[in-house]
């Protein structure tokens, strides 16, 4: 079973390479290969999800080189959860892109699969430097995908997006170098051991490296005040790419969780605590400002991009609260928001195409073709994001609120979450009324063809996933509870990864700088 861990990385890489070799083949062949790879990834993700146990992660040592010397892939409950979510998004986005979006760029499908490879690698790697490598793979692919279709606005937004993330990657390397210089290792499990035993004179340097990493991951997660790159980049990206981008910010959140619960989770010195004093207020400010941005947006895609930032603020609010219940709530809300935002990005594209030259601008436009199904799809996405009961958004926010215990913290979190939920509902209602009811006559002559069957199927997949979070809320929350417990007590993860080192089969790294 452990050999399956390499498949989510190798399969999209091989499929992308084959697509590049066959770039002169008919587009239909590329679509079939890409869709087949996406379906295969979903099957593998389900198998890993089913087989990962709460008490023992799956570990794959590449080349049989044991940790901490070799590269290892690790699938615990969190990794399996993220892999499955990515696979669902990938299949829906590839299906949607195959209805016509992939004609706007010659290398759409290989670039898309390379980005999926980077996402899967980031979730599976047990090594901090390889996390950097997979970050770069997914980012480089995303730069190219964001440019598909060209256009001045898209070019400007992508250059801004690339510049910010390249700068963040430089800081990432500096932080990794600092940690390696202090500990002599970059394996995450080994880093957790070394940092817990660090000398007092190295504590300040280790803390500085951790804060640098948090800054990098905060940029990826679009946390205030580092989120300004996201709205134009996501709003101008092609619809299926933007749908996959809905999990891009979650990579930053995933890395923050790994950093705080694993690498720095067992720091012996109290000064090693990285987030207790600032993460909660910053997350709440992010949620408030993103909601205000969504209210003031003049395009539906921009509103959805701000809702992406708001979701990151909500998830990190739960992470900052701390404790098993809050982490479980964060994971449930992560799954909900990823699917709901992907739905909104696809619906935005369909609504925009139906409005001709007005596209997705929040101004009166021509009557829509198939207004009823499009309106219902938008209603579902908007109501779910606002947390209208009995949607997955409602259950996710309820879990976040229920996880707060401290009186002052609870008052602050409840106030912000409830007020922003109402404001989100107002913003989505405003957008829907403009797009669906505040119309002009006669209909525009520039309207595109109505949505195709494949596009409706992709939407139904994502909406169905959101509904399953409600129907199977009990077993899913049991899974997230077990995942949170595993994260808070990472000793099992560490012992499993460093098994050969624990058993004395290999010698540990020599002490650095002594």
What is residue 60's DSSP assignment?
E
**pLDDT value at position 11?**
95
Q: What is the DSSP string of 318-354?
A: HHHH-SHHHHHHHHHHHHHHHHHHHHHHHHHHHHHHH
Q: Please provide the average confidence, as pLDDT, over all residues in the chain.
A: 87
Q: Residue 513 above 70 pLDDT?
A: no
**pLDDT value at position 441?**
61
Distance of CA 252 to the CA centre of its chain: 7
| Domain ranges for the chain | 276-471
Q: CB-based contacts of 398: which residues, under 8 Å, 6+ apart?
A: none
State the pLDDT confidence band at 514, using cuts at 50, 70 and 90.
very low
**Count of C-beta atoms within a 10 Å radius of residue 468:** 15
> Dihedrals φ, ψ of 323, to 5°?
95, 160
Distance of CA 28 to the CA centre of its chain: 29
State the pLDDT confidence band at 102, using cuts at 50, 70 and 90.
confident
Q: Kindly state the average pLDDT of the residues 197-220.
A: 88
User: How far is residue 186's CA from residue 226's CA, in Å, rounded to a whole number?
Assistant: 26
Q: Kindly state the average pLDDT of the residues 144-154.
A: 77
**pLDDT value at position 252?**
92
State the pLDDT confidence band at 119, using cuts at 50, 70 and 90.
very high
Long-range contacts of 10-16 (CB under 8 A, 24+ apart): 11/37, 11/40, 11/41, 11/44, 12/37, 12/41, 12/113, 12/114, 12/116, 12/117, 12/120, 13/113, 13/114, 13/117, 15/110, 15/113, 16/109, 16/110, 16/111, 16/113, 16/114, 16/117
Q: Are 192 and 259 in contact (CB under 8 A)?
A: no
Please give the model's pTM, rounded to 2 decimal places.
Answer: 0.92
User: How far is residue 421's CA from residue 506's CA, in Å, rounded to a whole number?
Assistant: 54
**pLDDT value at position 363?**
84
User: Residue 73: helix, strand or coil by DSSP?
Assistant: strand
H helical segments located in 201-299: 203-221, 230-236, 239-245, 248-258, 279-296
Which is it for the CA torsion 354, 355, 359, 362, positive or negative?
negative
Which is it for the CA torsion 8, 210, 307, 399, positive or negative?
positive
State the pLDDT confidence band at 64, using cuts at 50, 70 and 90.
confident
User: How far is residue 103's CA from residue 352's CA, in Å, rounded to a whole number?
Assistant: 18
């Amino acid at each position: 079973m452990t050999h399956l861990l390499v498949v989510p990385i190798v399969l999209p890489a091989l499929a992308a390479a084959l697509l590049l070799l066959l770039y002169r083949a008919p587009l239909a062949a590329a679509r079939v290969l890409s869709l087949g790879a996406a379906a295969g990834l979903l099957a593998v993700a389900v198998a890993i999800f089913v087989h990962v146990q709460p008490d023992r992660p799956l570990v794959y040592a590449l080349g049989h080189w044991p940790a901490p010397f070799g590269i290892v892939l690790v699938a615990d409950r969190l990794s399996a959860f993220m892999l499955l979510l990515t696979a669902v998004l990938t299949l829906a986005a590839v299906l949607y892109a195959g209805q016509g979006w992939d004609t706007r760029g010659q290398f759409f499908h290989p670039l898309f699969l390379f980005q999926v490879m980077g996402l899967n690698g980031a979730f599976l790697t047990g090594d901090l430097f390889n996390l950097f490598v997979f970050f770069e793979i997914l980012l480089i692919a995303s730069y190219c995908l964001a440019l598909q279709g060209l256009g001045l606005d898209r070019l400007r937004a992508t250059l801004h997006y690339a510049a910010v993330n390249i700068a963040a990657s430089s800081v990432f390397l500096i932080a990794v170098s600092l940690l390696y210089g202090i500990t002599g290792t970059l394996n995450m499990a080994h880093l957790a051991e070394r940092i817990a035993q660090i000398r007092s004179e190295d504590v300040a340097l280790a803390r500085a490296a951790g804060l640098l990493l948090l800054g990098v991951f905060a940029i990826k997660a679009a946390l205030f005040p580092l989120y300004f790159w996201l709205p134009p980049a996501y709003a101008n990206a092609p619809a299926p790419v933007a749908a996959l981008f809905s999990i891009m910010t979650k990579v930053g959140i995933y890395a923050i969780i790994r950093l705080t619960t694993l690498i720095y989770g067992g720091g012996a010195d109290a000064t090693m605590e990285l987030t207790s004093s600032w993460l909660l207020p910053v997350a709440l400010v992010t949620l408030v400002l993103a909601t205000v941005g969504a209210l003031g947006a003049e395009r539906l895609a921009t509103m959805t991009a701000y809702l992406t930032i708001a979701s990151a603020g909500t998830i990190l609010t739960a992470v900052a609260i701390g404790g098993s219940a809050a982490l479980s709530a964060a994971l449930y809300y992560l799954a909900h928001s990823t699917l709901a935002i992907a739905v909104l990005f696809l619906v935005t594209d369909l609504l925009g195409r139906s409005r001709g030259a007005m596209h997705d601008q929040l101004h009166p436009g021509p009557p829509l073709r198939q207004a009823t199904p499009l309106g219902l799809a938008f209603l579902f996405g908007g109501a779910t994001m606002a947390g209208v009961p009995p949607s997955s958004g409602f259950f996710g926010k309820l879990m976040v609120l229920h996880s707060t215990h401290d009186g002052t913290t609870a008052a602050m979190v409840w106030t912000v979450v409830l007020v922003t939920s109402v404001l989100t509902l107002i913003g989505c209602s405003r957008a829907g009324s403009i797009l669906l009811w505040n119309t002009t006559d006669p209909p525009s002559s520039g309207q595109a063809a109505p949505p195709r069957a494949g596009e409706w199927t992709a939407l139904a997949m994502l909406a169905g996933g959101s509904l399953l979070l409600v129907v199977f809320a009990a077993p899913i929350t049991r899974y997230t509870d077990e995942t949170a417990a595993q994260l808070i007590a990472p000793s099992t993860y560490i012992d499993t990864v460093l098994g050969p080192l624990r058993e004395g089969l290999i010698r540990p790294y020599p002490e650095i700088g002594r």
